[in-house]
Amino acid sequence: MSSKKRRALLICHSRTGNSLRLCEKTAEILREGGVEAKIIRIRPAFGIPYPGWLFLSLFPTMKFPIKQIGEDMRGFDLALLFLPKWTMANPVVNKFISRATFKFPPTGVIVSYGGWRGESFLHSVKASLWMRGIKVLGGILVKRSEKDQEEGKIREFLGSVLPDAFPKRP
Only one of the segments 30-38, 46-54, 71-79, 122-130 lies at the binding site for ligand FMN (rule: CB under 6 A); that segment is 46-54
CB count, 10 Å around CB of 15?
Answer: 17
- Contact between 64 and ligand FMN (CB under 6 A)? no
Q: What is the maximum alpha-carbon separation in the chain?
A: 50
Which one of 1-9, 65-73, 85-93, 122-130 is the stretch in contact with ligand FMN (CB under 6 A)?
A: 85-93
Residue 98's CB: how many other CB atoms inside 10 A?
A: 12
Judged by CB under 6 A, does residue 54 bind ligand FMN? yes
What's the closest the beta carbon of residue 130 comes to ligand FMN, in angstroms?
A: 22
**Number of chain positions touching ligand FMN (CB under 6 A):** 23
CA dihedral 156, 114, 119, 53 (to 10 degrees): -120
* Window 93-132: contact mask with ligand FMN (x via CB under 6 A): -------------------xxxxxxx--------------
Q: How far apart are CA 88 and CA 43, in angstroms?
A: 19
Does the protein bind ligand FMN through residue 139 (CB under 6 A)? no
CB 11 within 8 A of CB 82: yes
Question: Could you give the CA distance from residue 116 to residue 109 in angstroms, rounded to a whole number?
Answer: 17
- Least spacing, CB of residue 117 vs ligand FMN, in Å: 6
Q: Which of 87, 100, 140, 155 binds ligand FMN (CB under 6 A)?
A: 87
Q: Is 60 in the site for ligand FMN (CB under 6 A)?
A: no
Q: Is 70 left (phi over 0), alpha (psi -120 to 50) or beta?
A: alpha
Sites of contact with ligand FMN (CB under 6 A): 14-20, 50, 53-54, 57, 84-87, 112-118, 144
